[in-house]
Structure 1
Amino acid sequence: MKFDASIDDTECGQDISSLWCWVIEDPDLRNVSFERETRAPEAGHMSGSFDAVVAITSQAIAFGNLLLAYVTWRAAAGRSRGNGVTVSIEMDGRTVELSGLSDEQIRNLVSSLQGRGCAE
């Protein structure tokens, strides 16, 4: 399972730094592998490179904890639906965009993930 957070707007670079610090300091995320990437802009865009936070885990509970940490960070940062930060998750070959979801919708997703019987 993969979690990918990147910025839509170069002015939101501090947000990725804030999210990075938030998740790597969370003791509930010890079993999650994190990387911070610098990505080039998409073809046809004038903006410079930007940072992204990528996390990978095979544990459903750790993944659920990561999503809950994202919701908590988003609330603490005053971002109602992650404005300026694009977050997607990838599981079983499917990608789901989280940025436009409410906190309740993400919590429901976490509940369904943790109840699906993935290996711990």
Structure 2
Amino acid sequence: MEITLVFEPVDAAPEGADVEAARSVARWLREDPDLRGIEVRPGTADPREGRMGEVLEVLNVVLTNGIALGSLLTAVATWRGTRRGGTRVRIERSGTSVLIEGGSADEVRRILAELEPPAGGAGQP
């Protein structure tokens, strides 16, 4: 299962905040004992509509199972909770995109429900 984490600078963010956030999350994920065995690869995405040539910073995360998805969401939400502004984190999977706005357990459950593969679809990308 491949998950894409997109880091989007907010309006008042210093230049490079998205790059720094992506690097920070990559380190955070690699050090999380609950996420041993995941693959984290850096990447970039084309600018979103309305942006002036900016390239968004991206991490591609390959997970082995749905349990790892829950651990990933918890880790990213926890990381996000340690930060103040600067960058938004959007999680994408198979055409579904969800913005992480906080770090509460309720939010993690909501995002997990939106991103989990449908029943019987464990083999889907």
User: Is TM > 0.5 for Structure 1 vs Structure 2?
Assistant: yes
Determine what percentage of the aligned residue pairs are the same residue: 23
The question of whether the paired residues in 2 share the 8 Å contact of 1:7 and 1:16 is answered with yes
The question of whether the paired residues in 2 share the 8 Å contact of 1:33 and 1:56 is answered with yes
Show CA shifts across 1:9-44 (max 9, x none).
Answer: 254221111111111121211232211113343466
The question of whether the paired residues in 2 share the 8 Å contact of 1:34 and 1:55 is answered with yes
Alignment-mate amino acid for residue 2 of structure 1: E
Gaps of 5+ in 1: none
2:5 corresponds to 1:2: no
Say if 1:36 and 1:23 are closer, same or farther in 2 by CA, change over 3 A.
same
Secondary structure of 1:68's aligned partner:
helix
Q: Which residue of 3, 24, 40 corresponds with 1:18?
A: 24
- How many equivalent residue pairs? 112
2:91 corresponds to 1:85: no
Matches within 5 A, 1:67-82: 67-78=73-84
Say if 1:94 and 1:105 are closer, same or farther in 2 by CA, change over 3 A.
farther
Taking structure 2 as the reference length, what is the TM-score of the superposition?
A: 0.66
